[in-house]
Amino acid sequence: MDSDNLTKQIEEVEALSSIYGEDWTTESESNRSYNIKIKENDREVILYVTMPPDYPGQAPPKYELSAPWMDRREKEKLHISLDEVYLENIGETVIYQWVEKIRETLQKIKPKETPMKISNNITVDEVLDLASLEINCPEITHGEVIIDRKSSFQGHAAEVHSIDDVNAVLAKLKQNKKILNATHNMYAYRIERKTEKGTSMLQDCDDDGETHAGGRMLHLLQILDQKHTLVVVSRWYGGIQLGPDRFRHINNATRQVIQQAGLLKK
């Protein structure tokens, strides 16, 4: 490691630790991996960063964002904002600027509101707790957990015949707090439709912030010629960058849970 880069990294870590206190956590000193919790308006984002040897002189830090409550478009906008911050400060330390950019984004989001308004005609006791309702949805199979360098991956699969089935499964999974709080919940599905004009395939995917993951899952379903299949892979990020290995784990979790659910086409 370049001595100038190392000096700047050490100084940056000391400064960030002093500024953010308990919100700053060292994941791995040897890998120079850390996380910072940013809270505003009842919302929280966790920024996971790893400082490569050529940071800050020649490269940016590697990073992941954990914000399960944030939709895909908002995450994409935030990623673009962080990239812009780096491009404006090439060669300089940028983690503080990243944290404050995230905080600025959170400050623009309205505080959580009560999800249901209660009219004067009913009492609080009569309000239904929607989260506790049993959602009528297809049976869900949960796959084995794959663990690599503190990151965990788990697949979930169900037989689906309509978009309503897909939405019901996704809603049911989100009733599980652990799944709801996963760093990413990417999914892909394929549904065969037969009409008077012939057969068509309804298919779609969602990366949920893990770039290209949903597309790779859908590609695997296409290779396997899966029909009426929905697969969700939950990832809980452990603070250590996995690089391309994460896609191998996502694909393995996808195939394993399809087979476990008895949906793997023979």
The answer to whether 191 and 160 are in contact (CB under 8 A) is yes
Distance between the two ends of the chain, CA-based, in angstroms? 52
The residues of the chain scoring below 50 in pLDDT are 113-135, 266
- How is residue 79 written in tokens? 């990623």
Write out pLDDT tens, residues 111-155: 654 333 333 343 333 333 334 334 468 899 999 999 988 889 999
- How is residue 94 written in tokens? 């940028």
- How is residue 167 written in tokens? 């939405």
Classify 46 as helix, strand or coil: strand
Can you list the domains of the chain with their CATH numbers? 3-107 (3.10.110.10), 130-260 (3.30.230.30)
**pLDDT number for residue 40:** 86
**pLDDT number for residue 127:** 35
Side-chain half-sphere exposure of 136, counting CA atoms within 13 A:
1
Residues 6+ away with beta carbon under 8 Å from 65: 45, 46, 47, 48, 75, 78, 79, 102, 209
- Residue 184 pairs with which residues in a beta bridge? 235
The Cα–Cα gap between 49 and 36 comes to 8
The Cα–Cα gap between 218 and 191 comes to 12
**pLDDT number for residue 44:** 87
H-type alpha helices, the chain: 3-20, 72-88, 95-107, 163-173, 177-180, 213-223, 245-260
Compute the residue count for the chain. 266
Using alpha carbons only, how large is the chain's radius of gyration in Å? 21
**CA 9, 78, 218, 145 torsion-angle sign:** positive
**CA 256, 258, 260, 262 torsion-angle sign:** negative
At position 10, the amino acid (one-letter code) is: I
**pLDDT number for residue 38:** 92
The answer to whether 21 and 36 are in contact (CB under 8 A) is no
111 preceded by cis ω (within 30°)?
A: no
Write out pLDDT tens, residues 234-261: 999 888 888 888 889 999 999 999 999 9
**pLDDT number for residue 43:** 86
pTM over 0.75: no
The answer to whether 73 and 62 are in contact (CB under 8 A) is no
DSSP, res 243:
T
